[in-house]
Amino acid sequence: MTDLLLTLAEARVLAALFEKSVATPQYYPMTVNAIMLAANQKNARNPVTSLTEGEVGAALTRLEQDKLAARDDHAGRVPKWRQRMQNQLLLKPASVAVLATLMLRGPQTAAELRANAQGLGGPADADSLAAAIADLEDRAQPLLMLLPRAQGQSATRYVHLLCGAAQAQAAAARSEAATPAHEPSARAAVAELEARVAALESRLAEIEQRLLQSS
């Protein structure tokens, strides 16, 4: 396929779909409203977004054209959506988990990636993480890159390239400006708790939507 160049909204919508397909499969496939709430979560997101339902719908239409998402015609009266990122990009399970984590959380160190991607079926150890990173790098269109070490940082960070190199550098700059330097181990310690909160938010969003539909 030709090189992909997603917008920030498209990348966030696609990654949120993948995250919920793994973390809360009982609420998957997802409606546009549920995807919007997942994309705009306040936790486990960098940057935090405020996408509208219209923006999410437009992103899904573009992703459908790129065969990265598809409508589920068997999901009932309300249209629902599935992601096809892993199949379309020919990614192994650990690799797609790493890529989606970068798309959701912004630039991360290897230690942060390992901790944050585990809830999505990511690499279980350092060797597996290295293999996943190599899988994402060794392509005609690389899907991630290693950023130069910034001043005051103890480790280098990776960033995804689905929105282009310029956006990747901008994401790195935003992350450095908004987040004080932390040791990777300190940030990794809260990753599991954030994943649990994200799952609860997704469940609550689905319950709220069902209540609205039945009222």
CATH class of 8-87: mainly alpha
- Which stretches of the chain drop beneath a pLDDT of 70? 1-2, 75, 175-203, 205-206, 208-209, 212-215
Distance (Å) of CA 170 to CA 15, 41, 44, 161, 192:
19, 21, 19, 11, 27
Q: Is-contact 150 121, C-beta < 8 A?
A: no
What angle (nearest 5°) sits at the alpha carbon of residue 175, between those of residues 105 and 64? 40
pLDDT at 153: 75
The whole-number pLDDT of residue 175 equals 67
* Rounded-to-integer distance, Cα 7 and Cα 2, Å: 16
At residue 49, the pLDDT reads 97
Q: Is 150 helix (H, G, I), strand (E, B) or coil?
A: coil
What one-character DSSP code corresponds to residue 120?
Answer: G
pLDDT for 197 equals 63
Q: 93-193: same fold as 8-87?
A: yes
* Paired strand residues for 69: 83
In CATH terms, the fold of domain 93-193 is Arc Repressor Mutant, subunit A (1.10.10)
Query: Domain segments of the chain: what residues?
Result: 8-87, 93-193
pLDDT of residue 85: 97
